[in-house]
Structure 1
Amino acid sequence: MTDLTTIVKRRYTSKALDPHKKIPQDKIEQLKTLLRFAPSSVNSQPWHFVIAATEEGKAKIAEATANYAFNTPKILNASHVAVLCTRNYITDDYLQQLLAQEQQDGRIPDDTAKQALQTGRQFFVNLHRYELKDLQHWMEKQTYLALGTLLLGASVLEVNATPIEGFDAATLNQVLGLREKGFTASVIVALGYSDETDFNATLPKSRLPQQQVIEEI
């Protein structure tokens, strides 16, 4: 079994993907599961994921890179492209939906636990909504937890991944109809297999020394 250190060190951002190599469907299903089960603060799950596997779907997403032409081929040549989106707001109805799902999944043993869970989640949502006034930023943090989960999982499956922030969110929101659904695009991930022109595949990884970035007390 490959250890975690090996998996982490072999992960890198692919700069060129082979348009002829497709990710097997069983691996795509595993990546979907990773996204769905990603961690989030108070299990808020304030996200939505759009996955494009067709040429038409990838072309739609690529429209958002008109001003970032260097990212267009990464999307068009990918096997699959995932758009990680963040909710624009958290409503009371959505909080009730979360609670109902947790009850259905057997996480709530009784009414006391149900009330405690509801009160705790509402406290943190209201904290970011009213006191800290950073609810959107807080929700996007959760989406980036899903991004990290996806990138590490792709490495486990030996799938190359390219996270992309160079795109026009307004264009992508319009093309995918995200605003009408209550979401906004946060980050794109192109998934596939490295092309022979991928210069980053052969470069050594570079990180600051461990003693500089990790302090033990």
Structure 2
Amino acid sequence: MIQARIPESEGTEAAARDITHFVKTRYTAKAYDPTKKISPRNIEKIRELLRFSPSSTNAQPWHFILASSDEAKEKIARSTDRLYPFNSQAIRDASHVVVFCSRLEIGQDFLLRVLEQEDADGRFAGGPEYKERMHAARNMFIDMHKHDLKDVQHWMDKQVYLNLGAFLLGVSTLGIDATPMEGIEIKVLDEEFGLRERGYTSLVVVTLGYRDQENDFNAQLPKSRLPYSEVLTEV
């Protein structure tokens, strides 16, 4: 089944009409047309999708690499060539590739930068006590994951995956195909971009562009999901 697509120029208006259209028609592209590139206008929207995603307590414990050059995409493909070669061609053929990264730690210097950004953006119009409460609340949740649950790295990773979910739906409204890939050698990718020295580690790669209709077998397949009776309880 060939799934209907909305031209990228019409994506935003169409999303406003019915977001469920994109939930039901987006899919994981398996082959890309290397001659088709994402427009600069939509690259700016992609950047905004990454930046404005929600996260728990607005902690934003992430970093992204947006690769467009052949050289940068080649560095990413080195993390798939050995163990996951089935992902390599899509990385090389895609218009752009995004590497989703998580912080390795979340210290007070970073939390204060988040707090000051919120203040500069007018989040504490009610007075300085609101700023103090926000800082205390954010620290409470992070300390819980650091000291009680002892899963702060996993918690930060989950925030990145919140971003990933919103991102995949968001780019589909722009008429852009995407492929999320966990089939990467994280150590290789981290070394290629010096991520750990900068305080990050890679988690997942997303290729972006436009499908090669003739060679993308997944474009011809119907979407399959479990029935409501199994996945949804209404009370």
TM-score range, shorter chain: over 0.9
Q: Structure 2: how far apart are the matches of 1:134 and 1:5?
A: 34
Q: Structure 1: how far apart are the matches of 2:129 and 2:215?
A: 59
What is the one-letter code of the residue matched to 2:90? K
1:204 aligns with 2:219: no
TM-score by length of 1: 0.98
Counterpart mapping for 1:3-22 below 5 A? 3-22=18-37
Q: How many residues align?
A: 217
2:93 to 73, 77, 100: 77
What is the RMSD of the two structures over their aligned residues, measured on CA atoms? 0.7
Q: Structure 2: how far apart are the matches of 1:105 and 1:111?
A: 14
More moved, 16-25 vs 41-50: 16-25
2:208 to 191, 199, 202: 191
What is the one-letter code of the residue matched to 1:184? T
Residue 230 of structure 2 aligns to a residue whose secondary structure is helix
2:74 to 59, 77, 91: 59
Q: Structure 1: how far apart are the matches of 2:203 and 2:54?
A: 17
Q: Structure 2: how far apart are the matches of 1:103 and 1:3?
A: 35
- What residue ranges of structure 2 are gaps of 5+ in the alignment? 1-13
Q: Structure 2: how far apart are the matches of 1:192 and 1:16?
A: 10
Residue 81 of structure 1 aligns to a residue whose secondary structure is strand
Q: Structure 1: how far apart are the matches of 2:73 and 2:65?
A: 11
Counterpart mapping for 1:94-109 below 5 A? 94-109=110-125
Counterpart mapping for 1:153-172 below 5 A? 153-172=170-189
Partner of residue 232, structure 2:
214
Partner of residue 139, structure 2:
122
- What residue ranges of structure 1 are gaps of 5+ in the alignment? none
Tell me by how many angstroms 1:212 deviates: 1.2
The percent identity for this pair of structures is: 51
Residue 79 of structure 2 aligns to a residue whose secondary structure is helix
Q: 4+ residue stretches of structure 1 with deviation over 6 A?
A: none
1:175 aligns with 2:220: no
Tell me by how many angstroms 1:190 deviates: 0.3
Q: Structure 1: how far apart are the matches of 2:178 and 2:164?
A: 11
Q: Structure 2: how far apart are the matches of 1:112 and 1:52?
A: 41
Residue 64 of structure 1 aligns to a residue whose secondary structure is coil
2:158 to 135, 138, 141: 141
